[in-house]
Amino acid sequence: MMDSAIIQIALPSIQGTLGYTQENLQWIMSAFLIFFGGFLLLGGRLADLFGNRKIFNIGVMILVVSSLFAGLAWSEMALNVSRAVQGLGSALIAPAALSMIMLLFSANPKEMGKALAFWGLSGAAGGALGIVLGGVITEFVGWRWTLLLYVPLGLAVLFFSPRLLQATKGRVKGRVDYIGALAVTISLMLIVYGIVTAEHSGWQSLSTILPLSIGGLLFLLFLILQSRVKAPLIPLNIFRAHNLMIGNISVFLIAASWFPLVYILVLYLQQVLHLAPFTSAMALIPMPIFMAFFMIMIAEKVMAKFGIKKTMVAEFIILAAGGFLFSQMATVDGNYWTNVLLASLFASLGNALAYLPATTASVAAVRSDRSGIASGLYNTFYQIGSAIGLASIVAIAGAARSASTAANPVAMLNDGFQQAFLWSGIIALAGAVLAIIFTHPATQEE
């Protein structure tokens, strides 16, 4: 989470150094998200087969090396490839880490809820620290150190890992479905690429239709393989657990709404309001602070009192309100106090309330021997939701900017941002509707 936050503050500076276009700038995030999301199922499977700590440490090693190359990147391609490899390392880290938490607290559902709340809080804390560090480092040291920072941090994690993390053996036996992992990753890459291409080529062009079609067919092939191979990345009967499917769909929609909202907000602050990177960081820091406060003081109590369904519906509505407010209040002549703070409060509250019920629905009811798969599935939906949501929202913003009749480039840019915020709210509202229809009170696996 710190990686996502720290690099977002640096995006305009990276654009100036390496020459990214406004549309291609998203690949700094998308390359990471696609490989992160695409290989998470593999990461979860490997954690179940070979042990959490071993896979966790391998992931950190990959992250350290790729962060070094990302910080030294000499071109768009070099940075995009390095970010993709960072995503691969993260795909091994995240499911192993969440699986450790699930195993530690599996015997006590009440403590599991608290543990998952702290898991969410760690993400908010990482976001807050990333925003501050991103602003300070980008303005006073340079954007490259927002990536190089992970070299000493990763080495510190590797040093403490054998001292603080209990070694575990694999909980299941079987093979690794590398073909399935490759198929799902390539399919997701093609789908995101098709969405990105649609902005300048049109939805009816061959360069858009072809990758979307091939990506869809590959994903269908992946699902067929999962139903037939002996050791699938996703045992399809895992979806018999009550609320697991709607939990993961909710995670997808939360990410598809929240991640693009923050991405566009960073660009709005720096490209429309012309705030410096450090000032932008200070303007954004209330959001993760709000999230941390809401997660600690409110989220668990609200879910305990009202249940998963009501909490999930409420959070989607509040998150949608944040997007709608931004779409109206993000103006060319705006300022932080009147045009950003209130909407950021709504969005942060919605995202904070969303995290716990969606996470609980996604992983809490799954058997311990499937904890790696469940956590990989959960993280996959989150990262792919971020990637597809970002590609879609950026395409919408680009189309709105091109169609704008505003008098100057900044106003045209802002017209695109307003549409992006609006559709971020619409995605969240769709989540509320699905939660009303499909969420059930039961949580045990059948």
- Read off the pLDDT of each residue in 81-103 and give the average, rounded to a whole number: 88
Which of 22-26, 300-304, 344-348 has the highest mean predicted lDDT (pLDDT)? 344-348
Assessment of whether the complete model's pTM goes beyond 0.85:
no
- pLDDT tens readout for residues 319-355: 999 999 999 999 999 888 889 999 999 998 888 887 7
Of 383, 382, 358, 362, give the one whose Cα is nearest residue 374.
362
What CA–CA distance (Å, rounded) separates 9 from 20? 15
- Reported as a single tens digit per residue, the pLDDT across 261-282 is 988 998 899 899 999 888 888 8
- Taking the C-alpha atoms of residue 382 and residue 392, their distance in angstroms, rounded to an integer, is 15
Superfamily of structural domain 2-176+231-438:
MFS general substrate transporter like domains (1.20.1250.20)
Give residue 430's pLDDT.
96
Strand residue runs (E) in 208-273: none
Q: Please answer whether residues 258 and 347 qualify as being in contact, where contact means their C-beta atoms are separated by less than 8 angstroms.
A: yes
Name residue 17's amino acid.
Answer: T
CA distance linking residue 138 with residue 104, whole number of Å: 38
Alpha-carbon Rg for the chain in angstroms: 21
Stretch (H or E) spanning 393: helix 371-403
Domain residue extents for the chain: 2-176+231-438, 177-230
Q: What are the tens digits of pLDDT across the range 213-227?
A: 999 999 899 888 888
Alpha-carbon distance 444 to 125, whole Å? 31
